[in-house]
Amino acid sequence: MIHTKSEELYKKALQLFPGGVNSPVRAFKSVGGTPIFIEKGKGSKIYDVDGNEYIDYCASWGPLILGHAHPDIINAAYQAMMNGTSFGAPTKLENQLAELILNHHPYIEKIRFVSSGTEAVMSAIRLARAYTGKNKIIKFEGCYHGHSDSLLVKAGSGLVTFGQSSSAGVPKEIVQHTIVLQLDDESAVQKAFEEFGNDIAAIIIEPIPANNGLLLQRKEYLQFLRDITKQHNCLLIFDEVISGFRVGFTGAAGYYNISPDIITFGKIIGGGFPVGAYAASKEIMRMVSPEGPMYQAGTLSGNPVAMAAGYAQLSRCLEDNFYTTLEEKTKTLIDGILQVKPEVLPFKIFSIGSIFWIAFAEREYIRSANEIDANSMNYFRTLYHALLKNGVYLGPSGYEVGFLSAVHTNEDIERTVLAFEKAFKEMLVES
Ligand SMILES: Cc1ncc(COP(=O)(O)O)c(C=O)c1O
């Protein structure tokens, strides 16, 4: 496989953008080598500028649950665009998408559209603080919630610590309001409430943590978070930017049947266009401007083209058996890969719905970030390039999950399993 044109474009990009990219993971730093520059996508496939074809399991990091350039989405976006691309005034399309969501999602009553997952979560935190009148938030190591200042925080060394910023440029005065805990540890949460209970506005969690491996949580643990937040009059925020509309139309809230106070959305909700949203009960959403005192706004919020695309995508997701078919397909892929996996490699695939994570691990389950062995990423690096060479594209990091879309075919799955078989063989020869 030749990547000459990608390499040339990357060289140019290095002069134009920090690290040659507009979002860090794209730079292939964790797997090494040169990023592949994509020319186009259709269905389950993407094609790079050198004409190579790949079966894609990155799906633009999750939004493309109908695959690339789905005709419904392209037509809807095109029709909307023909009427103009943005007005900064309300349109019917916003009502349509909101009604579609709220009518089929019993855990929320009102929604506000924004333009990214980061914006959705940042606003949800502000809303929790506005509603409770409290300052601190609890987040968990291994959950990613976008790049707003108060959430770019990693755990310190103690059981309950104020986090340390994981990015330069974030004042410690901001970070001091964020408490970072390990997942799957009730006692750490209890201790945080003993120490700071009066001032905790919210716990925020990815109920299906999928940004640092796939750290599937026990339902009892999520229920515990629900109960303890209620006891202390603070809010539970489910960040469903990935899991929303992915593990079912009602996301993780529906999957676990746990009702959080605020849910954040992104990715799938916009059909591949920049959309995010936060949603809650009418009572909580009453705080949001112009109805209430919590300010939040956006020039392109509720953008008509993005609303039309989101509506087209979510309408498909509501069709009978959409999610069961997707899950069955994912199971077929995983079973196939496990059948060709060599005995000698410590290899697992964790999955839920159509999300899967490849882990070189012995453990039967991995529920918190500190249970991931960083050295295992060396295996992933080798596997990654072997798969790429055999026409399978995954997100370029062993901490990232993969996604199936509704348009992956049985043939795609067979080809992928074959690619894994070849890749495993290459790994064994190299080791
Ligand atoms: C759970 C979660 N929250 C928030 C975000 C931030 O979303 P965005 O990249 O659209 O700003 C992401 C992005 O991957 C995410 O996975």
Q: Last residue of a domain, which of 317, 337, 371? A: 317
* Ligand 1 pocket, residue 117 CB under 6 Å: yes
Instruction: Look at residue 67 in the predicted model and tell me its pLDDT.
Output: 98
Report whether residue 266 contacts ligand 1, using a CB cutoff of 6 Å. Answer: yes
Is residue 144 within 6 Å of ligand 1 at its C-beta?
Answer: yes
397 lines ligand 1 (CB under 6 A): no
Active-site annotation holds for 185: no
Question: Is the domain of 325 the same as that of 289?
Answer: no
Give the distance from CA 113 to its chain's centroid: 17
214 Cβ inside 6 Å of ligand 1 = no
Choose the final residue of a domain: 317, 349, 372.
Answer: 317
Q: What is the pTM of this model?
A: 0.97
pLDDT value at residue 160: 64
64 and 39 in a single domain? The answer is yes
3-state secondary structure 301-342: CCCHHHHHHHHHHHHHHCCCCHHHHHHHHHHHHHHHHHHHCC
Rg (CA), the chain: 21
Q: Which of 263, 296, 317 is the last residue of a domain?
A: 317
Same domain, 103 and 236: yes
Alpha-carbon distance 146 to 117, whole Å? Answer: 6
pLDDT of residue 206: 98
**What is the Å distance from ligand 1's center to 340 Cα?**
33
Q: Which of 184, 239, 261, 412 is catalytic?
A: 239
Is the same domain home to 203 and 311?
yes
- For residue 362, give its domain range: 4-69+320-430
What is the Cα–Cα distance from 207 to 214, expressed in whole angstroms? 11
203: domain CATH number is: 3.40.640.10
239 CB near ligand 1 (under 6 Å):
yes
How many independent structural domains does the chain possess?
A: 2
Question: How far apart (Å, rounded) are the C-alpha atoms in residues 140 and 217?
Answer: 12
Residue 221 and residue 138 in one domain: yes
Is the CB of 212 within 6 Å of ligand 1? no
Answer yes or no: do 358 and 239 share one domain: no
Cα gap 26→397, rounded to integer Å: 9
Q: What is the pLDDT of residue 158?
A: 65
The ligand 1 atom at the shortest distance from the C-alpha of residue 117 is: 7
| Cα separation of the two ends of the chain | 22
Per the DSSP assignment, residues forming a β-bridge with 153 are 165
**CB distance 204 to ligand 1 below 6 Å:** no
- Tell me the β-bridge partners of 55: 45, 392
Distances (CA, A) of 329 to 88, 345, 424: 41, 25, 22
List the residue whose alpha carbon is closest to atom 3 of ligand 1. Answer: 145
Helix axes 304-317, 71-82, angle to 10 degrees: 150
Judge if 134 and 173 occupy the same domain.
Answer: yes
Catalytic site residue from 57, 144, 255, 379: 144
Residue ID of nearest Cα to ligand 1 atom 7: 117
* Pair (156, 15) in one structural domain: no
Task: Examine the residue annotation and report whether 144 is marked as an active-site residue of this protein.
Answer: yes
DSSP codes of every residue in 65-111: TT-BT-HHHHHHHHHHHHT-S--SS--HHHHHHHHHHHHT-TT-SEE
Verify whether ligand 1 is closer than 6 Å to residue 270 (CB atom). no
Ligand 1 center–CA 266 separation, angstroms? 7
CA 348 to chain centre: 21
Q: Catalytic residue among 45, 136, 267, 329, which?
A: 267
Domain shared by 309 and 337, yes or no = no
- Atom number, ligand 1, closest to the C-alpha of residue 118: 11
Give residue for tokens 């039967």.
Answer: 364
Do 356 and 422 lie in one domain? The reply is: yes
| CA 368 to centroid of ligand 1, rounded, Å | 19
Contacts of 266 (CB under 8 A, 6+ apart): 63, 116, 117, 120, 241, 242, 244, 275, 276, 277
Task: Mark whether 78 is an active-site residue.
Answer: no
| CA 422–ligand 1 middle distance (angstroms) | 33
Per-residue pLDDT of the chain (431 residues; tens, 9 = 90+): 899 999 999 999 999 999 999 999 999 999 999 999 999 999 999 999 999 999 999 999 999 999 999 999 999 999 999 999 999 999 999 999 999 999 999 999 999 999 999 999 999 999 999 999 999 999 999 999 999 999 999 876 666 667 788 899 999 899 999 999 999 999 999 999 999 989 999 999 999 999 999 999 999 999 999 999 999 999 999 999 999 999 999 999 999 999 999 999 999 999 999 999 999 999 999 999 999 999 999 999 999 999 999 999 999 999 999 999 999 999 999 999 999 999 888 999 999 999 999 999 999 999 999 999 999 999 999 999 999 999 999 999 999 999 999 999 999 999 999 999 999 999 888 77
CA of 121 to the centre of ligand 1 (A): 8
Residue 290 identity: P
Give the chain's length. 431
Q: Are 347 and 220 contained in the same domain? A: no
Same domain, 146 and 236: yes
User: Which ligand 1 atom is nearest residue 240's CA?
Assistant: 1
Which mutation among 144, 152, 278 tests ligand 1's pocket best, with the greatest number of atoms within 8 A of CB?
144
For the domain that residue 26 is a member of, what is the CATH number? 3.90.1150.10
Say if residue 47 is exposed, middle or buried (CB neighbours under 10 Å; 0-12, 13-18, 19+): middle
- Give the pLDDT of residue 178: 96
- Residue among 77, 412, 93 at smallest CA distance from 271: 77
Check if 115 has its Cβ closer than 6 Å to any atom of ligand 1: no
In a mutational test of the pocket of ligand 1, which residue from 115, 149, 211 has the highest number of ligand atoms less than 8 Å from its CB?
A: 211
Please tell me if the CB atom of residue 246 comes closer than 6 angstroms to any atom of ligand 1. no
Alpha-carbon distance of 130 to 291, in angstroms, equals: 13
